Structure 1
Amino acid sequence: MAIPINIEDLLSKQKVESNRIEFKAGWNPSSIYHSICAFANDIDNLGGGYILVGVEEENGVAVRPVKGLEDNQLDKIQREMLQFNTMMDPIYYPRISVEEIDERKILVIWVTSGHNRPYTVPADVTAKLKKPVFYIRYGTSSIEAKGEDLDRLRDMANRVPYDDRGNENIDIDDISPLLVKNHLASVGSKLAKADFTSDMGKILEQMELLDGPKEKRLVKNVAAMMFAERPEKFFPVSRVEIVVFPEGRENNPDNFIEIPAITGPVPMMIRDTLNYLRTNIIKERVIKPANNEKSIKVYNYPFQSLEEAVVNAL
C-alpha cells in the first residue's frame, strides 16, 4: 500500500512531526513492534507514525545515502510481520510499503491510530514466553505504559464510536455537496454560503467530519451515512425494513407484508420511513359522543412516539 506522503519528506522529517517518525537501520522485530504498538495506541492522538526500516540515523537525522535492504530481507520481513501482527492484542495490521530511495530499497511501516485501542504486544515477539505489554510514545521513544499513563491508555478503550472513525474507503468525492449544503442551510450555518465546488475539504474539516493525520485525512463514517447519495456502498446493511402484520403478529404471524427496504442517507431514510408510517400505518378513528358536539380523534399509534423511535434508532 502506498504511503500518503512523499518519501523524501519522511526522510527529512518535513510535513510530519519528528516524534511520529522512527529510523531503523535493520530488522529488529521486538523493538520495532514496541513502536508499532505505541503508534497504534496513539495516546496523544497525533495520528500514528512511520517506521523506516533500512535507514540509519545520526542524532535523529537520516543518514544519506540510506543503508537499504536486500530483496531477500524484504521478503523475510514481510512474512514475519504476518505472524507478529497476530501477536498484538487486539490483532493489528500496519500498512507496509517498499520504497526506492538513493538507488536502494527500504521498508516503510505506516501505523495509523488503532480503532480498537488499547493494544498490547509481547515484550519480545521472538521469545517462547510472551508477556503482553502496553506501549506508548514518549517524545521520540516507545516506552512501556505505567501508572497514570496506563490508566489513561485503558480509558481510551471503545471511546471512539464507529460513526466518528475515519474510513479509508470513503473519498471526499463520495460526499454530495448538495446534501451537505442543504443540511447547512437547514440549520442556518454560515458555511452554507461557501464554495462547495472548491472548498469541500475545508468545509468537511470545519464540520469535524475528517479524521486522521494531516498528511492523510480520512472522511468519517458519519459523513457518508449522512451525506453520501449511496451510503449502502460503504455500509451494506444501512437500511430500514418494515414488516406489517395486518391481523397482528400474535393473531396470525403467517400473514405479513414486507415493505421494500428504505435506503439512502440517514436524513432521507428518516423522512421516507416516517412518511410511510404516517400514510400507511397510522389510522385515525373519529368518535362522536352522544352528549357532546365535539368529536374525539383516536389513533392506533401516536406519531410522535414513532418519530422518536425512528430518529433514535437511526
Structure 2
Amino acid sequence: MALPTSIKTLFGGGIVEWARIEFKATWDSQASLKTICAFANDIDNWGGGYLVIGVSSGKDGMPGDFVGVPNEKIDAYLKDMLNKCKLIRPAYNPITEVAEYEGKRFIVVWAPGGSMRPYTSPKTPGNKASERIAWIRKMASTIEPSEEEKRDLYTLANNVPFDDRINHSAEVADLSLPLIESYLKEVGSSLYERAGSMNFVELCRSMSIVDGPDEYVKPKNVGLLFFSLTPEKWMPYTQIDIVEFPDGEGGDIIREHTFRGPIHQQLRDALQYLENNVMVEVVLKHSDVAESSRFHNYPYAALEEALSNAVYHKGYDSREPIEVRVLPDRIEILSHPGADRSVTMEGLREFRAVSRRYRNRRVGEFLKELRLTEGRNTGFQKILRALQENGSPYPKFETDEERIYFLTTLYARDASDGAAKRWHARTRESASEQRARAIEERRNSILDFLSKNPSARLQDVSEALGIARGTLDRDVHILKEMKLLSREGGRLTGTWHVSG
C-alpha cells in the first residue's frame, strides 16, 4: 500500500516533526517492533509516526546517512516485519511502502494512532513467555510507560479523538474522489498516480479515513471534514463566520460572511477574504530618508496562523462555528472549546502554550501536510514573530476556567492612521458594489492564469484558483463574449489567448 505523504516530505522535516519519525539503517526486528507499537499507542495524540529503514539516525533524531536498502533484502525485511507485527495485541497492521529517493530504495512504515489502545508487544519477541509492554513514544524515544502513563493509556482506550472516530450516519459514497485526488496531488503522495484506478475503499483505507469490516465500512469524521463537500451535514456548524463591525460593536453596520465546505478550503477562502477585504498596506514616506516604511494593519502570517490554529483545535462535536470578529482596532478569533487543561492561564499570558495532548490528531496531520499550520506548540511563536516584524502590538490569548472557549485577539498596527480609515471606507461599500468588485477580481485572476498557462484545461484553472466549475464556465463564456478571451484548436490540444 502507498503512503498519504511523500518520502521527500518526511526527509524535509518541515511537515512531520522529527519526534514522529524513527530512522534505522537496517531492519532491527526487536527495536522496530517496539517503535511501531509505541506509535500505535500514540499517547500524546500526535497522530502516530513513521519508521524509515535505510537511513541511519543522526543528531536529535534527524536523518543521518542515506544508505538505502539493498534490493535483495527488501522482500525478506517485509516478510519478517509482517510476522513480527502479528505479535502486537490487539491486532494492528501498519501501512508500508518501498519508496525511492535519490536513486536508492527505502522501506517506509506508517503507523497511525490506533483505535483500540493500549497495544502491547513482547519485551523479547523470540521468547513466548516474555512480558508484554505497552510501549510509548516520548519525544524521539521509545520507552516503557510509567504507572501513571499506563493509566493514561487505559483512559485513552475509552476516548478515541473525535476526528478519528467512525461516523455511523455517513456512507463511503459521501467522500469525494476529486477532493481526495486534489489533496494527494498537492502533498505529492505516491497514491495520486494510482488513485483513479484503485478500489475506492482501498484508497480510503490507505489514507485511514474509513474503518470497519468489509461489510460495514464507514467514513471517519476526519474524512468527512476534508473530503466531503458538506461536512456540516454530519457535524453542524462546521464553518467559519466573519463578522465585520466598521463602526464598532455599537455601530449600525454589520457585515456577515459564512464559509462552508471542506475545512481546508473554508480556511483558505476565509483567509483570502481577510486578505482582500481587511488587510491594508500602509506606505509612510520620511522627510529625512529616501526609503519609505511599509507595513500592514495586520500581517498575513499572523492571521493565517491564528485562524489555522482555530480550525486545528476546534471541537467538531461542538455545535459552534469559528467566529472572526473584525473591529476598527482589532480582530478577534473565537473557537470552542477552550485550551487543554495542561495549558495554564499564566502560560497564555506569557505566550507559552505547551499542550500535553492534542484534541484533533488527524486534523492536524492533514493541515500540516497542506502547509496550513506548523508543528506542535509552534503557533504562538509564529504569530509573535510575524507581529514583531510588522511592528504590531502584542496579541492576547484567552480561555476560561471551564475551558469553554478560546479567544485570540490581534490588534491593528496604528489603528488611528490611514489603514483603519481605508478599511472603514471599504466596508461601507454596498453589497452590489462588493459583489461586482469580487466578480471583476475573479475574472481578472482567470485571465492572468490563462495568459501564463495557455494550454491549461478548465479543470486545472478550477483547482488552481479554487473557483467552482459552474462559476468558471459562466465566467469564461462572458469573457469570450467581451472579446477578452478566445481559444484556438481542439478541446484537448488547443490554447487560450488573452486579449489586451
User: What is the TM-score normalised by the length of structure 1?
Assistant: 0.59
Cα contact 1:177–1:200 (8 A) shared by 2: no
Shift of 1:54: 0.8
Shift of 1:20: 0.6
Shift of 1:3: 2.0
Which one of 223, 230, 240 corresponds to residue 176 of structure 1? 230
Shift of 1:61: 2.8
* Counterpart AA for 2:366: K
* Counterpart AA for 2:316: E
CA distance in 2, matches of 1:156, 1:71: 40
Cα contact 1:47–1:213 (8 A) shared by 2: no
Check 1:125–1:159 CA distance in 2 against 1; reply closer, same or farther (3 A cut): same
Matched, 1:8 2:49: no
Cα contact 2:46–2:361 (8 A) shared by 1: no
Check 1:44–1:73 CA distance in 2 against 1; reply closer, same or farther (3 A cut): same
CA distance in 1, matches of 2:47, 2:162: 17
Shift of 1:128: 4.2
Q: Which residue of 2 aligns with 1:118?
A: 118
Deviations 1:4-55 (A, max 9, x none): 2231221232211111111001110110011111111111111111110110
Matched, 1:194 2:248: no
Cα contact 1:46–1:213 (8 A) shared by 2: no
Write the mapping of 1:100-119 to structure 2, written as runs, cut at 5 A: 100-119=100-119
Shift of 1:134: 1.2
Shift of 1:193: 4.1
* Counterpart AA for 2:28: N
Matched, 1:212 2:358: no
Who wins on radius of gyration, i.e. which is larger? Answer: 1
Deviations 1:228-255 (A, max 9, x none): xxxxxxxxxxxxxxxxxxxxxxxxxxxx
Cα contact 2:230–2:262 (8 A) shared by 1: no
Percent of aligned pairs with the same residue?
Answer: 31
Write the mapping of 1:204-283 to structure 2, written as runs, cut at 5 A: 206=314, 208=316, 212=362, 214-216=364-366
* Counterpart AA for 1:19: A
CA distance in 1, matches of 2:135, 2:62: 24
Shift of 1:87: 0.9
Q: Which residue of 2 aligns with 1:146?
A: 146
CA distance in 2, matches of 1:161, 1:5: 22
* Counterpart AA for 1:33: L
Q: Which residue of 2 aligns with 1:62?
A: 63
Cα contact 2:118–2:153 (8 A) shared by 1: yes
More helix by share: 2
CA distance in 1, matches of 2:75, 2:120: 25
* Counterpart AA for 2:364: K
Check 1:131–1:197 CA distance in 2 against 1; reply closer, same or farther (3 A cut): closer
Q: Which residue of 2 aligns with 1:91?
A: 91
CA distance in 2, matches of 1:44, 1:177: 26
Cα contact 2:26–2:54 (8 A) shared by 1: yes
Check 1:197–1:71 CA distance in 2 against 1; reply closer, same or farther (3 A cut): same
CA distance in 2, matches of 1:198, 1:159: 25
Check 1:103–1:120 CA distance in 2 against 1; reply closer, same or farther (3 A cut): same
- Tell me which moved more, 152-161 or 116-125: 152-161
- Tell me which moved more, 139-148 or 202-211: 202-211
Cα contact 1:3–1:97 (8 A) shared by 2: yes
Shift of 1:86: 1.8
Check 1:162–1:195 CA distance in 2 against 1; reply closer, same or farther (3 A cut): closer
Deviations 1:170-204 (A, max 9, x none): 444434368479x549xx98489423367565478
Deviations 1:262-309 (A, max 9, x none): xxxxxxxxxxxxxxxxxxxxxxxxxxxxxxxxxxxxxxxxxxxxxxxx
Check 1:4–1:178 CA distance in 2 against 1; reply closer, same or farther (3 A cut): closer
Write the mapping of 1:129-140 to structure 2, written as runs, cut at 5 A: 129-140=129-140
- What RMSD in Å do the two structures reach over aligned CA positions? 3.2
Q: Which residue of 1 aligns with 2:160?
A: 160
Cα contact 2:230–2:261 (8 A) shared by 1: no
Shift of 1:137: 0.9
Deviations 1:89-119 (A, max 9, x none): 1011011111101211110111101100011
Check 1:215–1:151 CA distance in 2 against 1; reply closer, same or farther (3 A cut): closer
Deviations 1:41-85 (A, max 9, x none): 111111111110110122133234x11112232111211222222
**SS of match in other structure, 1:194:** strand
Check 1:158–1:178 CA distance in 2 against 1; reply closer, same or farther (3 A cut): closer
**SS of match in other structure, 2:133:** strand
Check 1:126–1:150 CA distance in 2 against 1; reply closer, same or farther (3 A cut): same
Q: How many residues align?
A: 214
**SS of match in other structure, 2:114:** coil
CA distance in 2, matches of 1:100, 1:63: 17
Shift of 1:168: 1.3
